[in-house]
Amino acid sequence: MATLLSSSSTCFSRPGLPPRRVFLRSLKEVRRGTFRVVPMRVRCSTDLALGGGGFVHENILKFPRMNVWDPYKRLGVTPDASEEEIRGARNFLLEQYAEHEQSVESIEAAYEKILMKSFRERKKSKINLKSKLKKKVEESPTWVKTLLSFVELPPIDVILRRLFLFAFLGVWSVMNSAETGPAFQVALSLGSCIYFLNDKMKSLARSCIIGFGALVLGWVLGSILVPMIPIALLQPAWSLELLTSLVCYIFLFLACTFLK
């Protein structure tokens, strides 16, 4: 027999116990009095049916900070770390201790605690911001309160869609400025404004009044403000009618988006 396998202590089958040492001795080393010691982590697996047993090697790492109460210290990050840093630390630890179920549960629990804390802080900041705005509105003059009572803030996707529509009409008007006037684009923008207002107010008459009012107001202000623009900033093909129509698009967008 070339080698002899012996152990200085009994085997174990429960996880979490300290590793045992397995001494591998060759016949020559026994004669010389020198031994080669190889540390191993083993678990004794006994087959009761055959009446025998064997050694099963396992390299399962255990998370050392598994019982740390602070979730930031458990993941090894600071409280002011970014979401990317926290997520990276969590993914790194999961790769290191993926074979130990309790370690994985401890890492995931710490990550979830940090996410919940961040969510509560963001929600609290939004509530504080709304309360501050509400307080400022209550402290504002009467005419400001009356004006704000006609205004609402729609979802961001609604604002972006309508902004894209009126911006497209503006670009279309500029591209066709050398050929025809923007009469068709202005009519299309007015129709879009009335459609959006009627969808929100459920009153076609009121929607038409507000839509035409925004068009007239934009045209009047455009006729006053456009001549004040230096000629050097304007393109030769941009007529007074085109620039005034661009101002009308702005007023129509504001009316159909933010008015109640």
Question: 229: pLDDT confidence band, cut at 50, 70 and 90?
Answer: confident
Instruction: Identify the pLDDT of residue 8.
Output: 39
pLDDT tens, 8-60?
344 444 444 444 444 444 444 444 554 444 444 444 444 434 444 444 445 67
Q: pTM score > 0.75 for this model?
A: no
| Residue 22 near residue 11 (C-beta atoms within 8 A) | no
Map out the domains of the chain as residue ranges: 3-57, 61-139, 156-258
Number of helical H runs and strand E runs in the chain = 9, 5
3 state SS of 169: helix
CA nearest 57: which of 75, 68, 44? 44
**Share above pLDDT 70 across residues of the chain, in percent, rounded to a whole number:** 66
Angle between helices 83-96 and 101-139 (to 10 degrees): 170
pLDDT tens, 116-160?
988 888 877 777 766 776 676 566 677 666 766 778 888 898 999
Distances (CA, A) of 192 to 13, 90, 249, 253: 75, 50, 11, 9
Which helix (H) or strand (E) segment holds residue 4: the answer is strand 3-7
Which helix (H) or strand (E) segment holds residue 183: the answer is helix 183-201
3 state SS of 173: helix
